[in-house]
A and B are shown apart, each in its own frame.
Chain A
Amino acid sequence: MSARKSNMVLGLAALMMISGLLFSSTGHAAETYKIGGIFSVTGASSFLGDPEKKSLEMAIEEINAKGGIDGRKLEAVIYDTEDDPTKSVMHVSKLISKDQVVAIIGPSTTPTTLAIIPSVEKEKVPLISCAAGNAITKPIKPYVFKTAQSDILAAACVYGFMKKQNIQKVGILTVANAFGESGKEQLLKQAEKFGIQVVQSESFGDKDTDMTAQLTKLRKAEPQAIICWGTNPGPAVIAKNVKQLNLNIPLYQSHGVASPKFIELAGDAAEGIYLPTGKPLVAKLLPDSDPQKKVLMDYIKSYDAKYKSPVSGFGGYAYDAMQILAKALVGTNGDKQKIRDNLEKVTGHVGVSGTFNFSKDDHEGLSPDAFVMVQIKNKTWELAK
């Protein structure tokens, strides 16, 4: 009984503290811009959401340290979607009606983003998503923008590189899920533009244990290169199978495996594989002439210093979103319509994920140079030439 009583006292105290916080924050509301953040901080996509949340907080700190925007400080209100579309919708309505944010950054994944788009469009709140799906900005929705590189760009980057290598015939092998299907669609659609012919297209299940049958079929079609589009662990099995079958055909992978984990899984079979990746992974290797190098090195340095954990390739989406939003916020006095209009005018913004050029017809803002081709050599990445 007494335990329950003390719990109640504790609860009451917590309630008072929370309401105290609320009052104090409404008191400041006139001076601060509230930025909503919703990320998959926990759940299956926490590898995206956690660095995104940290990067958003870091970006806001940096902007506030420089005096904020038009003399007004920024304040983040961050909720955890737990990777659940339903929870995302609930949090968005809370952000809009209760917290009265000027704009929202996130969510981390395509399904959660697609779930909240109707709400933000209806309430006319600018949203900068950190997810990569093409459906987010195609077709264009007035209030929806995004900062993550899509597979349209990844496919263009791979094909652009192949064209330079004089490869004309490719075989593709894609995983049978949303990531693989979307990649396959892009690879088939864009091939012609680069003068490349897809001679054979096969798929594999993400739990399959052996892909030698698919690879044998691809070999029969005599491609000059094989492109595999999937996320771990399938592509690592394929890398092993290619070595075992002694195919002697160069293997390309997608950005879906651009992490040290892939090299660890595929072991020796990873040697020589080409893949496109965002620049954070290879920031140190970039030539000094690369406009992103300085931004990247600064971002990595401050992230390391603040969180004492190695930087991931994903936090940059939220960091870029905040920096872009900061540019758009200038002179709007928090007017959401004006922020939206300004977002479309942001051009030449050099961010962590690439150089952003937004326009009326482009709410994604990136071009294929947001990706670089790397080759795996001696168990690490090297810029491919």
Chain B
Amino acid sequence: MQEFLQYFFSGITNGAIYAVIAVGFSMLYNSTELINFAHGEFVMLGALGLVTFWSGFKLPLPIAFILTVICVSGAGLLFERLAIRTVSKPQPIVLVIITVGASIFLRGIAMSVWGKDAKGLPPFSDHSPLEIAKATLLPQSLWILGISFLAVLGLYLFYQKTLTGKAMQACAINRRAAWLTGIPYQKMISLAFLMSTGMGAVAGIIIAPITLCSYDMGTMLGLKGFCAAMLGGLGSLWGALLGGFLLGILEAMGTGFFYSGLKDAIAFILLLLILYIRPGGILGAKDAKRF
């Protein structure tokens, strides 16, 4: 029981991070039908941004948090303006290759700015770990769960309650019809990039204290997040959440009850299975209501 609970805690911690990354993938796909393979690099930028603002400039944590998100989503906006919008024939394959190129570019930039060495950060709060039925839960895990929950809740409310959110949804459902009703489609795409990379930054920020931040940390996280998004159903907010937690928990259980060498394989075997059995994901983006 003690082990099971420990694996579960480890699983939901990683799962929450995968979920936030998956949400970023999903919402961008929704608005643009584009898979941004540079998304993992924005997670990395979020983590390294916090290193600079929090431990480098010694700003208070909330300010460092907000500044990092602003800077990273600014970078996401620039990426859309300079690399995506300027493509003369925006076919999906061209755009996907551009995002792959952007991911290499961002990694290179990060390596020259922050160097090759990994950097560590202290946890957000200095509490001692909690003991629940002899299993240990880290305070940072609670931070991760809490912030992920707030971010997703915020996103949900944005989609449901604001006009802009509804306009974005309209674009996602039918671009042309949305355009006919006077929704500025181009602006909505920019906004989607801004918010998606912002979510990436949040994932990077909350993960920074439990791991070590380096320029090449984003690729694997991005892939795991992508797996989670596919697993739950690309384009669905709840699907992304479900996929993220499912992946995190299965990984931890697999490590615990089978063999740790298979940890990364589990994510990709799941992805293959889903693509074979339910190409639309568990919450099948096709039939399930988007958001």
Contacts and interface: CB of A to CB of B under 8 A. Distances in A.
B123 to A, nearest CB: 9
Given A205-B263, A208-B263, A233-B212, A216 B256 contact: yes
Contact of A216 (B7, B138, B217): B7
Contact of A245 (B13, B122, B136, B207): B136
A207 interface: yes
Given A216-B10, A265-B118, A207 B220 contact: yes
B10 to A, nearest CB: 5
Contacts of A232: 117-118, 212
A382 interface: no
A213 B217 contact: no
Interface in A211-231: 212-214, 216-217, 220
B214 interface: yes
A233 B118 contact: yes
A204 to B, nearest CB: 6
Given A203-B260, A205-B263, A267 B120 contact: yes
Contacts of B214: 233
Interface string A176-218: 1000000000000000000000000011110111101110110
Interface centre among B6, B129, B216 (most CB of A within 10 A): B6
Contacts of A264: 120
Interface string B247-265: 0000110011001110110
B260 A204 contact: yes
Contacts of A244: 129, 136, 138
Contact of B117 (A214, A261, A267): A261
B33 interface: no
A213 B256 contact: yes
A210 B256 contact: no
Contacts of A213: 6-7, 10-11, 251-252, 255-256, 260
B263 to A, nearest CB: 7
A265 B120 contact: yes
A212 B251 CA distance: 12
A208 B217 CA distance: 9
B3 A217 contact: yes
Interface residues of A, number: 28
Nearest to A204: B260
A289 interface: no
A203 B214 CA distance: 21
A237 interface: yes
A156 interface: no
B29 interface: no
B260 A217 contact: yes
Contact of A266 (B120, B220, B221): B120
Nearest to A205: B264
Given A233-B212, A261-B117, A267-B120, A210 B260 contact: no
A205 B210 CA distance: 15
A210 B13 contact: yes
B52 interface: no
A176 B136 CA distance: 26
A237 B136 CA distance: 16
A309 interface: no
B65 interface: no
A370 interface: no
A203 B261 contact: yes
A352 interface: no
Contacts, number: 87
B191 to A, nearest CB: 30
B10 A237 contact: no
Contacts of A209: 14, 17, 207, 210-211, 217, 221
B245 interface: no
Contact of A246 (B7, B10, B129): B129
Interface string B1-28: 0010011011101100100000000000
B118 A176 contact: no
Given A216-B3, A266-B120, A207 B217 contact: yes
A373 interface: no
A265 B212 contact: yes
Contact of B261 (A176, A210, A217): A176
B113 to A, nearest CB: 18
Interface in B101-119: 117-119
A266 B212 CA distance: 9
B30 to A, nearest CB: 27
B259 to A, nearest CB: 8
A236 B263 contact: no
A202 B256 CA distance: 10
A68 to B, nearest CB: 40
A236 B210 CA distance: 11
A217 B120 contact: no
Interface string B221-256: 100000000000000000000000000000110011
Nearest to A202: B260
B6 A212 contact: yes
Interface in B159-216: 207, 210-212, 214, 216
Nearest to A267: B120
Contacts of A207: 216-217, 219-220
A212 B214 CA distance: 20
A103 to B, nearest CB: 33
Contacts of B118: 232-233, 236, 265
A165 to B, nearest CB: 26
Contacts of A266: 120
Contacts of B220: 205, 207
A202 B138 CA distance: 22
B1 to A, nearest CB: 12
Given A212-B10, A212-B136, 13 more contacts: A202-B260, A203-B261, A205-B263, A208-B263, A210-B10, A210-B14, A217-B256, A217-B260, A232-B117, A236-B118, A244-B129, A264-B120, A267-B122
What are the 7 tightest A-B residue pairs by CB atom distance, in nearest-first order? A209-B211, A233-B118, A233-B212, A216-B6, A213-B255, A202-B260, A213-B10
10 contacts: A209-B14, A209-B217, A212-B10, A213-B7, A213-B10, A213-B260, A216-B3, A233-B120, A233-B211, A265-B119
